Amino acid sequence: MSLNSQQLEGILACYKQIESELRVKLESLKSPLEMKFGRPVILFIESRTKKGNSLIEKARRYGWQVTEETIHRIKDIAGLRIIVQHLDDIDRVVDVLHQRTDLRVIDEKDFVRSPKTSGYRSYHLIVEYDYNDLRGPATRYAEIQVRTVGQHFWAVLQHSMMYKYGLEVPSHVAENLRLIAEETSNMDEKMMVMRWAVSRDLETDEVRDYAEKLV
Ligand code: 0O2
């Protein structure tokens, strides 16, 4: 049976709770990572729960009838984003997420090593999370995206331009955005190598030569 608006509200409230709980957990990674690496690894965290209309639109796009049963198959109703400093911090954070026992990674997409045709780069994880509300325990999905501050800069601006143009993005705009994504990725790499070069523990001739070549 199709969802009525009260049921939809209840579902969104449950994902809002999941978003808040996961956000607290992800925020709590900041300090230990900073202590371990002697610099902030995670810069900030964003989160959102999908709006009812985009949820219904997504279910319909998949050809599903919008019911209590099918709606929970959508895996990014609760979405969180971890913004890190450097490219190698992405793998660090992903490893930490894999080790946790309070969420289980069930799917991953590495758009950093395999960028989307738009130029988009980020690491996406789908996790299963056990939560409790007044009706008792349930296991639900959430999406966690991990990206550098450089990748974030590109994604935010590109997203707002795509929104402006809708699906009719002029090809020269799309091509330029792809090129800028490439340039941003090169900058990310240079920044990371320079960090290696200045961090005492990794100062080797090899890293220094690489850093000089890049700059
Ligand atoms: P929002 O507002 O960020 O939530 P689907 O979700 O069905 O479209 P899929 O395969 O489930 O497809 O999702 P995918 O491709 O793994 O990632 C979808 C999310 O990644 C998007 O969520 C964006 O957050 C981000 N994303 C993917 N491609 C791009 C891109 O080209 N540019 C930007 N800026 N972001 C991208 P939403 O729900 O579309 O948006």
Question: Cα 10 vs. chain centroid, distance in angstroms?
Answer: 25
Domain assignment of residue 143, given as a range? 5-149
Tell me how many degrees the CA angle 188-192-193 measures, rounded to the nearest 5.
120
Rounded to the nearest angstrom, the distance between the alpha carbon of 124 and the centre of ligand 1 is 9
- This prediction's pTM: 0.92
Contact (CB, 8 A) for 97 and 125: yes
| 125 and 170 share one domain | no
Rounded-to-integer distance, Cα 187 and Cα 15, Å: 36
143: annotated active-site residue:
yes
| 166 and 139 share one domain | no
pLDDT value, residue 140: 97
- Name the active-site residue from 143, 168, 182, 212: 143
Report mean pLDDT in 10-residue bins for the chain, 215 residues.
87 97 98 95 98 92 88 96 97 97 97 96 98 93 98 96 78 94 96 83 63 61
pLDDT value, residue 68: 86
In this structure, which amino acid lies at residue 78? A
For residue 132, the cross-strand partners are 137
| 185 and 133 share one domain | no
Q: At what angle do helices 171-198 and 149-165 cross, to 10 degrees?
A: 170
Question: What's the total number of domains in the chain?
Answer: 2
pLDDT value, residue 138: 94
Question: How high is the ipTM of this complex?
Answer: 0.91
pLDDT value, residue 65: 86
Pocket-forming residues, ligand 1, beta carbon under 6 Å = 76, 79, 109, 116, 118, 120, 124, 155, 158-159
pLDDT value, residue 166: 72
